[in-house]
Amino acid sequence: MSLLLLYLTSWEEEGLPEGFKRSWKGYPFEVLDALSADDLIRGGHRSKSVYLTENGVNEAKQLIKKYLNDDQYIDR
């Protein structure tokens, strides 16, 4: 669910490839480390935000379909 929340609170930032989303790291480090190990997010330990990889965005969209059943969030 943390990946879903990261996606829903994300934004696109200049300087990253199109479609990559950045989000604040307001989650336990264990959760962020697990998402990073699965290559769903990336970001330095000193930064205050992470970005969702292409795999992370795709997985988040699947979570939206599964839990929210609402397409309005998919193309944000």
**Going from the N-terminus, what domains does the chain have, and what CATH number goes with each?**
2-73 (1.10.10)
Report the predicted TM-score, pTM, of the whole model to 2 decimal places: 0.84
Question: Do 41 and 5 meet the contact criterion of CB atoms below 8 Å apart?
Answer: no
| Residue 39: strand, helix, or coil | coil
Over residues 21-67, the pLDDT tens digits come to 999 999 999 999 999 999 999 987 788 999 999 999 999 999 998 88
Helix, strand, or coil (residue 6) = helix
In 1-76, DSSP assigns E strands to: 21-24, 41-42, 49-52
Of the two residues 69 and 62, the one the predictor is more confident about is 62
